[in-house]
Amino acid sequence: MIRLTHVSQRYGAQVALEDVNFEVAPGDFCVVLGPSGAGKTSLLRLLTMEADPTGGQVQVGSFVSGRLGRNQRAALRRTLGVVFEDFKLLEDRNLFENVALALRIHGVWDKATLERRVDEALVQVGLPGRAHAFPRELSGGQKQRAGVARAIVNRPHLVLADEPTGNLDPAAGEEILDLLFQVHRDGTTILLATNNQELAAKLAARGARLVEIKDGTLVEGVRP
């Protein structure tokens, strides 16, 4: 699913990742724990191929970093679901439009199909009947649920979650984690990045694989 081979990422003299070798198998729930600035964002940017590694090779599914064109990078991202810390919902559109956006990008234009798939996704994340609500009308937890709905509406094999509970209160954070475990149980591989040790411990306790990112390197199985 994901394979990093001797991957390095440098920004001038600053080293974000150094000779990282890392694999995530299909069906994993992998938590990448590390403090701010440890390289989590760099890792996720490499996985979405927003950036190319300065050394080594990144493979996500059948996509290999290197000489991917814009269309191929877009095609890779269409195979992923991405959940953001700040939700990244379009504030001037309702939930239907926000979630349908991912389907349209996937080439789904039929109105009936769009409505059915969006409704299914909103039901799955616990927001039934809220298709016409705008993000400003929702709580943080509900916004993140909508973000998860957008990430999973295309039924991706892999979901990348970047600090998905970072902007939420503990109760709402728990709900989002439950939701991600539910998505995982349905067969989706999850890679979650967080700087919250307590959260990482909870996830590890529920069976997630824990990897710590420290000084640009990844260390497997560290207990927080």
Partner 1 sequence: MSRFAYFLAEAWRSLWHHRALTLTAIAGLAGALLTVGVFLLFTANAQLALTSLGDRREVVVYLRDSAPEGQVDSLRARMDTLYGTSSYVSKQEAWDEFARELGGDELLKAVGENPLPASIRLRLRPEYLHFAAMERIADALAGESIVEEVRFGGEWVRRLDLFTKGLGRANLWVAIAVALGVMLVVANMIRLTVLARRDLIRILALVGAGPGFLRAPLVIEGVLVAGLAALVALGLLAIVWAGLDGRPFALVFLPWRWCLAFVGVATALGFAGSLLALVTVSRRH
* Residue 46: DSSP 8-state: H
Q: How far is the CB of 6 from partner 1 (least distance, A)?
A: 26
Strand boundaries in 42-144, DSSP class E: 55-60, 63-64, 80-83
Indicate the residue among 15 and 108 with the shorter CB distance to partner 1.
108
Q: Kindly write out the interface string for residues 151-190 of this chain, putting x where it contacts partner 1 by CB under 8 A and - elsewhere.
A: ----------------------------------------
Structure tokens at 37: 């600035």
**219 sits near partner 1 (criterion: CB under 8 A):** no
Structure tokens at 20: 């990282």
Q: Of 23, 26, 37, 104, which one interacts with partner 1 (CB under 8 A)?
A: 104
**206 sits near partner 1 (criterion: CB under 8 A):** no
Given a contact cutoff of 8 angstroms between Cβ atoms, the answer to whether 8 and 15 are in contact is: yes
Helix, strand, coil shares of the chain, percent, nearest 5, are: 35, 25, 35
Binding site for partner 1 (CB under 8 A): 48, 50, 70-71, 74-80, 82, 84, 88, 90, 92, 101-102, 104-106, 109, 111, 150
